[in-house]
Amino acid sequence: MSNVVNQKEKRSNMNTGPFAVVIIVCIVAFVGGFFATRLLQMRPQSITPSEVPVKETVPAVQEPEELTESKVPSVKETDGNTIQVNWINSEQQPSRVPDEVLSRAACFNEPTVCENSSNQYASAVQLGTVVGGVYDGRSLEMTTIENQGMGTFYASYYVLRDPSGVVAPVLLDRLYRNVGGWFPSRLGEMTVQESLGEKVADLDGYVIDTESVISELETVEQIVGDTQGRSFVFTGLWLRLYSQEAISLASATRTTQLSDGRVLSLYEPKEDVDGNVLPGQTSMGRDQFYVLDEDGRVLFYDIEIPFFKDDVKDEDGNILEGRRIPRIRWNDGSTNTQEYFKGELGGCGFKTTTHVVSQAEIDQIGLMAVGLGLGDDGSQTQVFEPSSYENDYYTDAFNIVTYPGEEAKTLADFVHPYFYFQDAFDRWIEATSIEIIPPVECGKPVIYLYPEQVTDMTVWVNPKGGFSYTEPLYKNGWRVTASPDGKIVNQDDGLEYPYLFWEGRGGMYSAPHHYWVVEQADVESFLTQTLDEMGFFENERNDFLEFWLPRMQEAPYYKIGFHGTEVMNQLVPLQLSVKPDHIFRILMDYSPLENRFPSNPPTTLPHANREGFEVMEWGGVLQ
């Protein structure tokens, strides 16, 4: 009987064994096929900029492997922490769905905007694929966040993503680019962690690599040369050429080839008969040259003038932006010692790095040769001056009065106030003496200090175009004792001051994109309400109105806008020996109008924090 049972068991085992194997094989095949299909679906797909990217589904993983600090590549593993990238042509870089975690962490708009995961203020693009090293095969992506306030700022972050979605994304700390809508940013000014501050904690699931770099994105030659022997100086980077804000640059028709084979283009925006930029054009980069970076961004360059190269520095050794002492031998045999601006003055600094004047304007001026510009390369450039200054253009500049009761200057107070020359592209360039009373500058910016206890500190402010006045006297910084009630004692003279006061000129400048058009009778109430909404103390608001209201009485309407802290930090860097908890800076820009036209107000107004040690600063553009 037992033999019968054993034989039945054997037959049963023989029948079920192959069946079980088949089942197991099928399961394995199904699972393997499923994940293979998902991996194929996750591979980057090329889509045109006009296509709206569809949200991709990432396979659920029980416990994704996180790239711990110990797994971040070492210097040895990545050849000096330099990541090699197989770049996609910038014209073909495909759009990607912005990551919600990064988009929210990097969003500084209104909370309701940042909380909306499908908001329109984030964009992403795939730049290429990493080749070799620990990150081999990772996709390099750039996510750009559009933050709106009194102005618009575009912050870009560079992320390495594992195509399978298994390994945590890596954020490259040293590759952060922040560009305002009106000025070109510089490289290496800030890291990702410095830009995000406390919001770094919101980057759930991200690893921050503080060491690795991508040389093509981190290093830009300060001077490049073309095949004709002409040199160009790097002035800043801007947005991607293929973005809506920069697409007009693609209409540039004048080009030159660099010695490395790249093409440098000259941007000359199209204008109406009055010199206003036409719709679809941009004043950014006016009369500058540009070349594309690997991520599709615009890199701006200015042509180097052989006799216009000697920088001017302040007493602390800081280069005063835009100011030079050109090497000119005047016709009377004397050598030039004056400082000049080659850019077009305007606002709180200068509007262009090179002030190009049309041939029609030159014909109206009438020029005479007055000297030779002597380049350090042995070149000589003919220098011209107006044959007559009987022209409203010059008269207005000579007679500008900055303060009520101030005596106006005349032509007799100046020697060679203007001169003109042609550059290597046959463009006429105007240079203006620094001795000319500027038609506009940063007017009475004042700094209030509110530490939590009586504190000794040094305050440094560095207007990129230099000071014209300070109070108390600025001596490589203000050494002061500040009190919680705002009282400031200057340690150099022992006197008490309500604030630190300076005037001067910043760097590249453009009027605010957002503004209000206000009837003159309503200017005082408008400013009062706006400053209150920004969190000004009563004494700060009264100081502001006392200085600016008398200057806004003549015209029937005024166009009024404000730049905020980020713009001020670019124009006029501010530092303190004791780190404040919060810094709030505004700069008012206003223009008199004869007729009303629609306002273009910002979506939000910034607000002073008023907690901890806060620094407050207000100023305006003298017109």
Helices (H), 502-582: 523-533, 538-548, 565-571
CA–CA separation, 209 vs 201, rounded Å? 15
- Nearest-5° Cα angle at 52, 48 to 57: 105
* pLDDT at res. 27: 40
Contact criterion met (CB below 8 Å) for 588 and 621:
yes
CA–CA separation, 475 vs 162, rounded Å? 53
Spell out a b/e string for 463-492, using b for 16 or more CB atoms within 10 Å of the CB, else e.
bbbbbbebbbebeebbbbbbbeebebbbee
Question: Beta strands of 278-318 (E only): which ranges?
Answer: 289-292, 297-303, 311-313
Contact criterion met (CB below 8 Å) for 169 and 179:
no
Contact criterion met (CB below 8 Å) for 384 and 420:
yes
* pLDDT at res. 364: 87
* pLDDT at res. 28: 37
Residue with tokens 């690997």: 294
3 state SS of 182 = coil
Q: Which residues have a Cβ under 8 Å from the Cβ of 375 and sit 6 or more positions away?
A: 305, 306, 307, 327, 381
Residue 221 backbone phi and psi in degrees, to 5: -60, 135
Contact criterion met (CB below 8 Å) for 543 and 499:
yes
CA–CA separation, 177 vs 141, rounded Å? 14
* pLDDT at res. 95: 94
Pairing of strands 207-209, 170-180: parallel
Helices 523-533 + 538-548 axis angle, to 10: 150
Spell out a b/e string for 417-428, using b for 16 or more CB atoms within 10 Å of the CB, else e.
bbbbbebbeebb
CA–CA separation, 56 vs 344, rounded Å? 49
* pLDDT at res. 581: 93
- In angstroms and rounded to an integer, the radius of gyration of the C-alpha atoms of the chain is 30
CA–CA separation, 72 vs 85, rounded Å? 17
* pLDDT at res. 425: 94
Residues of the chain with pLDDT under 50: 1-80, 401-404, 439-440
Pairing of strands 122-130, 95-96: antiparallel
* pLDDT at res. 94: 95
* pLDDT at res. 18: 42
CA–CA separation, 147 vs 121, rounded Å? 7
CA–CA separation, 174 vs 190, rounded Å? 8
CA–CA separation, 257 vs 248, rounded Å? 21
CA–CA separation, 483 vs 452, rounded Å? 8
* pLDDT at res. 428: 96
CA–CA separation, 210 vs 224, rounded Å? 29
Given phi > 0 = left and psi -120 to 50 = alpha, else beta, which region is 227?
Answer: alpha
What token pair was written down for 285? 């980069």
CA–CA separation, 154 vs 124, rounded Å? 12
pTM score, whole prediction: 0.72
CA neighbor of 619 nearest in space, from 569, 576, 582, 578:
569
Bridge partners for 146 per DSSP: 154
DSSP 307: T
Contact criterion met (CB below 8 Å) for 321 and 463:
no
Residue with tokens 């001067």: 504
* CA distances to 430, 470, 540 from 392, in Å: 16, 32, 38
